[in-house]
Amino acid sequence: MVLMGKIKSKFKALVPIIVAGLFLTACESECKSLEKEPEEKNSISSEYINVVDEAASTFGNEKEDTGIKSTAKDEIESVRNETGVKETGEDGHEIEGEDQSEQNGESSFEYKPGTSEEGQSKPGSNKERILEDFIICIDAGHGITDLKKQEPIAPGSDITKPAFVPGTRGANQTEEQLNLKVAKKLEQRLIELGADVHMTRTEARCDMSNIDRAEFANGLNADIFIRIHADGNQDKSVHGISMLVPANDYINDEELVEKSMRAGKLILDEVIKQTGAKKRGVIKRSDLTGFNWSKVPVVLLEMGFMTNPDEDKLLETEEYQDKIVQGIVNGLISYFKN
């Protein structure tokens, strides 16, 4: 009697497996018949997988009790392999293996700070913020104002000069306009590189004198004060780019003079490299108010001669302006790196 009881118990445990086996055999036969009706395959196969899922959940535990190690997932994968059925994403595209995230609308791109999906650096990314914490003051030279006055060229000096002058001009733009265009481009690029940028003016009208502009940079304790200008000459054949830096006639801070010279050389070299313009060199000046009142390193870039027809045409173009800006940026990076 005990023996019969054990046999009945074993048989009872095997019943679900036998039933499932018969069911899978029937389903396999049904799937083979479906090959003749491909237009209905996807919908029927989906129902078929759902049924198998339910069957697997009911007898998976029974298999463990009887010592059978295959799982419900094994059975389902076996059926899928035999019938060729594949899961589909919401867009109807087939999903296979571990590529499902991409088919479900999730990007398989591994994000890295500072790069796009093509691996290109993004402006303003952590990787590019190489000028972070540097304070840069940009002075777009000249401006439109109704004010007229004289100001001393240096603290304690009896020598004065006009506080406001209009600057030169080209065929289609004034120096004031050109200076502001380039200054704004430079501001944007430096901000992208993480710099703390301040502008003496952001529009055409400006009542700040040269002393005011220098003291503005002083108040910021700027790491560098860069002044953007263009040149003019009665001789229309004169052309090229030059860099003006302070002499030490009125400035007792030798470090300021030295830093200004070093920055001036580096920036000019890079601007020439970008533009291919004639290099007119670095010139020390003791008569510029904006230099003599400055307490921070200061340079003045003369971007070219608007009185030279060929150079003036170049200075009108966005492309050439961008080259000048890139040269300034490269020079500043070299200056701060060293």
pLDDT digits (tens, 9 = 90+) for 258-291: 999 999 999 999 999 999 999 999 999 999 999 9
Under DSSP, is residue 246 helix (H, G, I), strand (E, B) or coil? strand
What letter represents residue 123's amino acid?
Answer: P
In percent, the amount of the chain with pLDDT more than 70 equals: 62
Task: Tell me the range of 1-10, 36-45, 86-95 where mean pLDDT is highest.
Answer: 1-10
CB 57 within 8 A of CB 68: no
222, part of any domain: yes
This model's pTM is above 0.75 = no
Q: Which domain holds residue 219?
A: 135-337
98 and 140 share one domain: no
- Rounded Cα distance between 190 and 129, Å, is 9
Does one domain contain both 213 and 311?
yes
The rounded mean pLDDT for the chain is 76
- Domain containing residue 182: CATH number: 3.40.630.40
Q: What is the pLDDT of residues 183-227, one digit of tens each?
A: 999 999 999 999 999 999 999 999 999 999 999 999 999 999 999
Q: In angstroms, rounded to a whole number, what is the distance separating the alpha carbons of residues 62 and 264?
A: 84
Shared domain for 85 and 233, answered yes or no, is no
Question: What is the per-residue pLDDT across 11-43, written as a single tens digit (0 to 9) for each?
Answer: 555 555 555 555 555 545 554 444 444 444 344
pLDDT value of position 59: 39
**Same domain membership, residue 146 and residue 198:** yes
Residue 124 domain-assigned (yes or no): no
Number of Cβ within a 10 Å radius of residue 65: 8
Examine residue 240 and state whether it is found in any structural domain, yes or no: yes
> Are residues 61 and 145 both part of a single domain?
no
Report the number of distinct structural domains present in the chain: 2
Burial of 285 (0-12, 13-18, 19+ CB in 10 A): middle
